[in-house]
Structure 1
Amino acid sequence: MSKLYILVEESFRELRARAHITTAALARNLEVVIGQQWWFARNFASLSPGVVFLKGNNSVQANLMTSARAAGHRVLSIEEEAFGLKGEDVFLTLFDPRIETNCDRFLAQGINQRDTLISRFPEMWDRVSIVGNPRSEALISAASSGITGPAQEFLSRYGPYVLVNTNYASINPFDFDAFAYYRRCVGVGVLAPGDPDEMELFHTQCVWERDNLREIVRFLNMISEFRPDIPVILRPHPSENPRPWIDMARDLSSVYIVSDNDHLYWTLSCSVLVHSGSTTGLEACLLGREAINLRPGKSAWHDRFVSSIVNKNAETARQALEFVEQIYQRPTITSTPQDRIKALQPYLQTEMDSSPSELIVDSVLDIMPIGSARALEPGPFTNPYNSSRQRDKAFVSTETFRALLREATKTRSSQNFSITDLGPAVWHVTNITRTHMS
């Protein structure tokens, strides 16, 4: 059977959607190897020719493209960093120039991404396909399973709550070092220190995050003072350092800090979400939940995110609190208003005849290399040394992955799949039913 290799960098963000791609591939009689990208970087040459699916297009991903193609594989990519992005200027900073020659197919979320990419890389005009994004598909599937885990426990104990998601990794990074964050941006190729336009963009981003952070803090203090009866869940982004938030919330009796990477069920069960330019605002919209986008002051960054057109916008903490009081304990909406869906389509196409995962598999089959039907090589494979940060980002148990596959198969005909561990957080998945039929 032909092979699809799916590389994962951040499991909390990517793996649920990748499970949907896996089940769509199994339904088309493909074998799938899926897992941490660092394992694949060491083992491309040991794998039978196939199609390599990458989550991005920066210099790290471009290096993976080069290695994969040198080993006889074909490459397609999506841009996960742009899931909630609207601004073309920021979108293009995510692309290494080498993708023009090393990427066999780019998967665009909508017309805006397609046209922006082709304007920058004209030679790719016939290698861009609009597929939406399987993250939207995975959101709806997970929502149908109902609220579970810590979110359900909190809801049962404290009742309806407000969720506040933060996203200030440039000024409050996980390793306590803002200059280290700058160096990481340079290292992955999304920031060129010698380019004054890119440096200005980075500087204004930091100012924007600082102003947003200050207004979120004002909001937390105001809701604690004037509406202490409303429980608030504060969830710092996994790329942030949670310590300042923990210290800040210590004197706010109605604010509870959670560090759960899987934010989906917290969003699904909240009365209203408050954020400032976060992708979770888009996800709340897709889940049929109300969200308030707090956007203080004047900044071009406010309009670079899709949340600005699908959420209610508040200019101050006080206005955000007024919106919360209007929405809180109101019957939760269960479907996204059509005007928001229509506004979303140029940036994230959701109204298509096939699901994003099925369209992605169509593209996989279009570029499948000769020799891909060879049996998967038995190895030996080389396990990389994974840093603690890599393990935190990408590692989940086999049982967790199996549960995500079961969740994804609910949207398709019954599949009886087999999972074999190939390395740490790397799995070989086959459809037993199809194998026995062929």
Structure 2
Amino acid sequence: MDKKIYEQLQETIYTETLENGLRVTLLPKNDFHKTYGLFSTNFGSIDNQFVPRGKTEMITVPDGIAHFLEHKLFEKEDGDVFNTFGRLGASANAFTSFTKTAYLFSSTNHVSESLNTLLDFVQEPYFTDATVNKEKGIIAQEIQMYEDEPDWRLYFGVLGNMYPKHPLHIDIAGTVDSIMDITPELLYENHATFYHPSNMSLFVVGKLDPEETMQLIRENQSKKEFLPVEPIERIFPEETIQDIKPYDFIQMSVNRPKSIVGVKGVTEIPSGVKALTYKTTMDLLLTLLFGPTSANYLNLYDKGIIDDSFSYEFNLDRTFHFIDIGGDTKDSVVFSDEIKKILLDAKNSSELTEENLTIVKKRMIGQELQSLNSLEYIANQFSQPSYGEATLFDVVPIIESVTLTEIKKAADEFMVEDHMTTFHILPKGENEA
């Protein structure tokens, strides 16, 4: 077991990769009464074309199968796993993203039993035709609910413009039609491929003894048999800048228009520490341009172009990276035009000064340090995209290291008009002026 000490934050992380390939990370925080465990697989909604483990031919699986599998793993022959956690006094949950599926528990008592339960139920699937068919109706209702959610439609609308071929533009839960093709056999095949320990990681944080906890995990895994470790071959559609759809809109039952601007990253995605530095640089850039104390934000707010629903984000993950900036507005065209104007002149923006950067850095570092008081935040951040040897505890020194020159360079390279798109949602009966 390896041990890494972060002197500045007074944190110590213990890591070990087991013989079956499972990477385990432990973070003792014994001033907390709660322990939080998160078991995740590098398998999300975009992974719909791959070579199954033990086979040689590429297959395409129904959209939404990763999310469907997440739901079904909680149901066993002898009952619902939620009931098991409940009897232990623990709470449990799970979530599926574009690239990850994660299962978690939190507890103040019976932590060893809860941790064994987490490992066992995720690694021991049970599917039947009856239970799978029952779940189709439940998830179909969930999909239809999100189809009526304007902010969800806005987000996937801009993804559809940026990634018309890539599965990123498809709802994480799939479609009502796609989930009808899911079978127990497909679920078992996906589980065997993506839930191999070598494609998974376990993170435990809170009140724990690292030696005892690691030994419990070793013993749990040693009792199970897994196929040999082998890489997973996945395929994603190739896209060009020409595939980006510059604009689209839909009408929904909303009181005010909604607008979102997307900027698609088309350069090669860095890896390891460079990826975390790149993401931090882009986060700083967006905060300088659109943060609540920036002149841009105040100007747009005073003119009524944006309101408190305004948000911005830089997303970077396994096969994609992009910016999305959106919110409610009185005029969707004016909103998107103003945002694009700011982005296209970002490298020359009067917001990009050493003084502003110092202020934004201090605020970001303060927020980061405050977030480290939340076990849930820490665990969820460790389940996010891999940055190689870099971890959550490297963020503060990386924030401190980013220069204004690097931020301006990022603005110059990323903010290209041909990489931009807009998507609007208008009240029913309204059209763009």
Larger Rg: 2
Alignment TM-score, normalising by the size of structure 2? 0.24
Instruction: Please give the TM-score of this superposition, normalised by the length of structure 1.
Output: 0.24
Structure with more of its chain in helix, by fraction = 1
Between structures 1 and 2, the one with greater strand share: 2
Higher relative contact order structure (alpha carbons within 8 Å, sequence separation ≥ 6): 1
